[in-house]
Structure 1
Amino acid sequence: MTLTIAPHSAHSLTVSRLGYGTMRLTGPGIWGEPADRPQALEILKTAVAHGVNFIDTADYYGEDVTNRLLVEALHPYPQDLVICTKVGATRRPDKSWVPFNTPANLRTSIENNLRTLRQAQVQLVHLRLMGPGPVPLDEQLGAMFELQKEGKIQHVGLSNVGPEELQAGLAMGEIATVENMYGYAQRTTLRNAHGETRGGEEVLALCEQHGIPLVPFYSLVHGLPNAGDKLATLARQRGVSEAQLNIAWLLHKSPMLLPIPGTSSLAHLRENLAAADIQLSAEDMAYLR
């Protein structure tokens, strides 16, 4: 199962539909070095060896921890590997997450990612929106497109957006991908740190309409009444974990979904990879509706 990012671009990217998110490779609170560094490196190597060629990272994971792990484990990178990073936020010493999204901030973040990932160009960058603030979306996204013109970014994506923000982004230029919280039990309404409602299904519908892959993160959330019960029931019947069934549901829900389940356990990684082989019937999907 594959999909194409930016299919109408001369620099389109074809990726396997099951990726890997590096966030959990860091220490507690998404901060500091991994508890088991050799295992973290082996996870990255194993994922790529088993066909994963889409890896999500950010320079504010750690800080810079996951980028450095990627270099240590995989550089020089396989030719077909797509490394996707995020900008728009940073971390304070107290581990809090704060906006870092002025044009100057975004340029600093891109330069840092290029340096730590040892790349001449970042293939895909998600501009993560951190809620309302003094820097409007058009100013943030305009800076991203300028960096793209300079050749520092190949493709621009958006993260943590609602349908209105995605529409606004599309009016400004090509949006290659969207990265949002989305999963079986969290898809009707999403809320950011400021309590704003963001439509999960509405964003997916827009992505499908425009041929934009939606990269779901933090997808196993029991946020809807009784949703977790159905997932648990069918998982028991099929002899798989709820996490595996959630991944399988995402892969069956839409051909534009590109799950990136993360883990700090090599055994759990193998379970996640095996989820791609789980077949769900039309009856299964109707039950999980």
Structure 2
Amino acid sequence: MTTPHLTTTGHLGTLPVSRIGFGAMQLAGPGVFGPPADPERSRAVLRRAVELGVDHLDTAQFYGPDVVNDLIREALHPYPDHLRLVTKIGAERDEQGAWLPAGRPEQLVEQVEQNLRSLRVDRMDMVNLRRFDLDAPELDQPALEDQLEVLVRLRDQGTIAQIGISSVGAEVVRRAVEIAGVVSVQNPYSILDRSGQDSLEAARELDLAFVPYFPLGSAFTGGPAKIAAEPRLAAVAAKHGARPAQVALAWLLASYENMLLIPGTSSVTHLEENLAVGSIALDAEDMATLEEVEQAPAGH
């Protein structure tokens, strides 16, 4: 056993954080739309996460929409001094729950203000600009420079502390660092889907945090079930007395020293399993076995 990764730190720019945080997306209703069936259960997960040392909480106003930020405020406000609140902007939901781009500069400002109001804070520790470069490359999006310019202005005003970028390739990562000094990349990445390896290498080169979403493959396309059924993951898990999903998360931690995990769940039991991942020490033989896991990229 090694010292759990939860007690070791990575960094979001100048902000030290534990390497295992919590992604709050799954606290909303099915499809990340509407309220959960049991809001108190969701609030209990949040409280337990903080009790266990989580200090990096990832959210978005469009989770629900509005629902998840309200749950966070209800469960945790006033927030512990060490808790870093990170949100994502650049999208919205329609009345049927579809995900729509909303990245015009004036929309970004309004979304930041919505997050501040709903979370009841004066400043966000980090704001991720959610682009659609990977999901819908044909989409006519606002210019990256215009989007980042408004976020830099908000940073200069003290409304946000750090800027991150999400769902972009390596070239855009490098441009965003040059334009705005972004400190984090949040992209889909998992042992099943390494199609974003180029953006991970850019993060490594530039000493950025890399925060994988869908760290067990997309929950919308059966990623966790594929993880559970993968024989190489099962073999390594048996060796360590762990679950295949825990090994998949441990593989991510071993892949880059500033890989920051934000696995999400609406279950306290599952939360505790995720936070135990830091105690899994994969050796060279394990890593070689896991490199052979068959890729199953899903649509993002």
1:42 to 30, 41, 44: 44
Higher helix share: 2
* d(CA) in 2 for partners of 1:96, 1:74: 29
Q: How does 1:202-281 map to 2 (within 5 A)?
A: 202-221=198-217, 228-281=230-283
Q: What's 1:71 paired with?
A: 73
Give per-residue Cα distances to partners, 1:164-201, cap 9 Å, x unaligned.
111111120211111111111111x1xxxxxxxxxx11
Q: Given the alignment of the two structures, is residue 111 of structure 1 paired with residue 89 of structure 2, yes or no?
A: no
Q: What's 1:146 paired with?
A: 153
1:51 to 50, 53, 61: 53
* d(CA) in 2 for partners of 1:242, 1:84: 28
Comparing both chains, which one has the higher relative contact order based on Cα–Cα distances under 8 Å and sequence gaps of 6 or more? 2
Tell me the SS of whatever aligns to 2:34. Answer: coil
Q: Is the 8 A contact 1:185 1:228 kept in 2?
A: no
* d(CA) in 2 for partners of 1:134, 1:239: 47
Q: Is the 8 A contact 2:25 2:63 kept in 1?
A: yes
Tell me the SS of whatever aligns to 1:220. Answer: coil
TM-score (normalizing by structure 1): 0.90
1:24 CA drift (Å): 0.5
The one-letter code sitting in structure 2 at the alignment partner of 1:163 is A
* d(CA) in 1 for partners of 2:158, 2:257: 30
Tell me the SS of whatever aligns to 1:178. Answer: strand
Tell me the SS of whatever aligns to 1:90. Answer: strand
Structure 1 runs (4+) greater than 3 angstroms displaced: none
1:104 CA drift (Å): 0.6
Q: What's 1:197 paired with?
A: none
Identity of aligned residues (%): 40
1:39 CA drift (Å): 1.3
Tell me the SS of whatever aligns to 2:63. Answer: coil
1:266 CA drift (Å): 1.1
* d(CA) in 2 for partners of 1:134, 1:88: 10
Give per-residue Cα distances to partners, 1:128-181, cap 9 Å, x unaligned.
002331411111111211221222111000000100111111120211111111
* d(CA) in 2 for partners of 1:44, 1:238: 28
Tell me the SS of whatever aligns to 1:288. Answer: helix
More moved, 266-275 vs 106-115: 266-275
* d(CA) in 1 for partners of 2:125, 2:240: 38
Q: What's 1:157 paired with?
A: 164
Give per-residue Cα distances to partners, 1:56-100, cap 9 Å, x unaligned.
000000111111111111111111100100000000001100111
Q: Is the 8 A contact 2:103 2:141 kept in 1?
A: no
Q: Given the alignment of the two structures, is residue 135 of structure 1 paired with residue 164 of structure 2, yes or no?
A: no
TM-score (normalizing by structure 2): 0.87
Give per-residue Cα distances to partners, 1:7-49, cap 9 Å, x unaligned.
xxxxx21100001000000001101111121111111111111
Tell me the SS of whatever aligns to 1:4. Answer: strand
RMSD of aligned residue pairs (Cα, Å): 1.6
* d(CA) in 2 for partners of 1:261, 1:5: 17
Q: Is the 8 A contact 1:98 1:130 kept in 2?
A: no
Tell me the SS of whatever aligns to 1:35. Answer: coil
1:279 CA drift (Å): 1.2
> Judging changes above 3 Å, is the alpha-carbon distance between structure 1 residues 108 and 248 closer, same or farther for their aligned structure 2 residues?
same
Q: Is the 8 A contact 1:45 1:74 kept in 2?
A: yes
* Structure 1, gaps ≥5 residues long: 7-11, 190-199
The one-letter code sitting in structure 1 at the alignment partner of 2:110 is T
* Structure 2, gaps ≥5 residues long: 1-7, 134-138, 218-222, 292-300
